[in-house]
Structure 1
Amino acid sequence: MSVRPWTPEDLGRPTDGTWADVAFGLGEMYEREGDLRQAAGWYRRAAESGRADAALRLGAVLGRMADAGPAGESAEDLLAEATRWLSGAHDATTPDAIELITDMLNRQLRQAARRGLEPAAAG
């Protein structure tokens, strides 16, 4: 009895079955389920393995995590990492990438405005 091995095609995305494709597929799955922390972890692995579109997805997910509020990491740290991934993406000149970068800049401006509205610590 032969056993059919699992492939990334099982997630509905045709790929050549590389590690980066598997990691990207898992990132997509977790993102669809709303688990942004897991999605970011898998997108990060895919991006580190050379999957170009994973850097864009990672930037978008990190931005959404920063918008969601405190969950262990500061919004500033999440936005800084997202900016690094988005600015280093291989296809950063596509319309989708430009939109993600613009969204990231808007998020950073909102964060700066929030910090400006916080009361100063009495010293």
Structure 2
Amino acid sequence: MPTPEESLAEAKRLSGLPPVVAVCGSTRFLAEMHEADLRETAAGRIVVKPACDPKTPHALWGDPDEAEALKIRLGELHRAKIRLADEVLVVGDHVGDSTRAEITYARSLGRPVRFTHPEADPDAPPGPATPR
């Protein structure tokens, strides 16, 4: 019996869908995420990415209690986007705790992870030491 992930992959293959890319990264890189969305779309990929910037004032997260509940729901939704995706693209030159958790989750699912800034990969081997 195939797993749900295997069934989804087969359904996407049979329907002829183009590859799906989940964009991840800190919301401080929303402009870069938009640029990545444009480039990935132009390359023929379907893009899913964060749609909210909780640091920008908005009525949806104006109430602190609602904001915390929304943050949890958005995290669950983003993990669903990662499950839906064929690969993940991490945007930005900094990886914080939330993005690190998304990378770990994606890799646990066997999703390839690309970086706009490969040096930001928390699992990359350290580069050569810089001479002083």
TM-score (ref. length: structure 2) = 0.28
Structure 1 or 2: larger strand share?
A: 2
Structure 1 or 2: larger helix share?
A: 1
